[in-house]
Structure 1
Amino acid sequence: MATVNLLRKKGRPELGNGDVKRDLLNAAMQLLSSEGREGATMRAICAAAGVTPPTLYHYYGDLEGLHKAAIDETYLGVAEAYHGGTEEKGPLKGIRDGWATFLEFAHSEPNMCRIVIQQIMAGKPPSMVMETLQGLAEDLNEFHAQGVLKYNPKDTAQLLWMSALGALTYAVSKDSVALEGSEEPSLQKALLEITLDALFEH
């Protein structure tokens, strides 16, 4: 789970462009990615965005609200990769694109990736997760009707999600658990193919 830069470094506005709400969001995303939650404090975010704490409260309610908005924005890249691939060549293309984007995220933004995983483990996943899984299940209905799914669409979507989370967690913890000499990108690709083989009839 075409890869999309999850933090949109090329496409998103730079700080100081006059969009204060977006400046706060960008500052939070940058600091969460580089410093983690501990470094993405209200003081640091407001300083980076060039505003005062009341402005943050005005737009996001509190620091937790801004952190959640930053995490939600980050996850949008995965959702966009899935939907873009699906519109181009169907659900399997979307699954592969979303998987690839997830893993690119893990390697390029490990701190932010860990925060997303923590949110999911705490039962507070990014707001787009449920919508993406529901959309995936609906897209898989066509395969179900053709008799090529081994499980119903909803369960298939959940199993894909579980496998993707496992791959993501492994990727961000690889320094402590990876076997010497292992080819991680090849292993991650193999895991996706094993997962698809387990879920789809041939």
Structure 2
Amino acid sequence: MKVLSTQNSNYSNDGKTEVRQRLVQATRHLLSIEGRDGASSRAICALAGVGAPTIYHYFGDLDGLHRAAIDETYEQVAEAYLQGTRERGPQQGLRNGWGAFNQFARQEPLMCRLVIQHILAGDPPMAVAETLATVEADLSRLYNEGVLSCPAHEAVQLLWIGTLGTACFTASGSNREDQPNPDFQEKMVSLVLDALFIQKG
């Protein structure tokens, strides 16, 4: 009986996780293509295949669900930095992370604007502070090694300003023809990184 009870509990927890994730994915989709107005409780529940009370059970209210979707969206940008750093060090991580943010701005401008709105309002996605702290720690080591041209905390601020600036510029286009050429952002990334990092040899 104890084994059966544990299996049922695991199944129940898995089911709850699956329902929660369906809600988050449905919300991300609707926020991305229609913005906040299109991501209503009714539309989200219809897409996720659940009843309206489910939102309040898992997230407290619609704003809480919107926030969870925005948080998860930014986590993908943060992962691009971590992956690049694992493969080829912080400089590659910065290039990957910045590139991921710009790609996100091109592909999902409405969602990108929501992320930026939260950042500007002083309520950034949860992963932002953690990512910036990780970047600063990585850059501190490079500064101590004589690879970075300015203290890590200054470099992080410059990089963050540049990342947000190019993302805002990219996400401001109203249609595909308005989107800046990706090469333009790549030049911006290269200029900033070349200025921050000292090339040895």
> What interval of TM-score do these two structures reach, taking the shorter chain for normalisation?
0.7 to 0.9
Matched-pair contact (CA < 8 Å) for 1:133–1:158: no
Structure 2 counterparts to residues 16-165 of structure 1, below 5 A: 19-165=18-164
Q: CA RMSD in A?
A: 2.2
* Count of aligned residue pairs for this structure pair: 184
Matched-pair contact (CA < 8 Å) for 2:80–2:93: yes
- What TM-score, normalized by structure 2, do the two folds share? 0.85
- What TM-score, normalized by structure 1, do the two folds share? 0.85
Higher RCO (CA 8 Å, separation ≥ 6 residues): 1
Q: Distance in 1 between matches of 2:87 and 2:147?
A: 21
Task: Report the 3-state secondary structure (helix = DSSP H, G, I; strand = E; otherwise coil) of the residue aligned with 1:117.
Answer: helix
Question: What's the CA shift for 1:64?
Answer: 0.6
* Gap regions ≥5 residues in structure 1: 1-15
Task: Report the 3-state secondary structure (helix = DSSP H, G, I; strand = E; otherwise coil) of the residue aligned with 1:123.
Answer: coil
Question: What's the CA shift for 1:28?
Answer: 0.5
Shift of the 166–183 alpha-carbon distance from structure 1 to 2, 3 Å rule, reads closer
Shift of the 87–111 alpha-carbon distance from structure 1 to 2, 3 Å rule, reads same
Q: Distance in 2 between matches of 1:186 and 1:48?
A: 36
Aligned-residue identity in percent: 49
Q: State the match for 1:184 in structure 2.
A: 181
Question: Following superposition, which runs of at least 4 residues in structure 1 exceed 2 angstroms of deviation?
Answer: none
Q: Distance in 2 between matches of 1:130 and 1:142?
A: 19
- Determine if the alignment matches structure 1 residue 201 to structure 2 residue 198: yes
* Gap regions ≥5 residues in structure 2: 1-14
Q: Deviation string for 1:13-58 (max 9, x for gaps)?
A: xxx9982111111110111011100110111111111212211101
Shift of the 48–17 alpha-carbon distance from structure 1 to 2, 3 Å rule, reads farther
Task: Report the 3-state secondary structure (helix = DSSP H, G, I; strand = E; otherwise coil) of the residue aligned with 1:19.
Answer: helix
Shift of the 183–71 alpha-carbon distance from structure 1 to 2, 3 Å rule, reads closer
Q: Distance in 2 between matches of 1:104 and 1:28?
A: 20
Q: Distance in 2 between matches of 1:58 and 1:49?
A: 15
Matched-pair contact (CA < 8 Å) for 1:85–1:91: yes
Matched-pair contact (CA < 8 Å) for 1:82–1:98: yes
Matched-pair contact (CA < 8 Å) for 1:17–1:23: no
Matched-pair contact (CA < 8 Å) for 2:170–2:180: no
Amino acid paired to 1:64: D
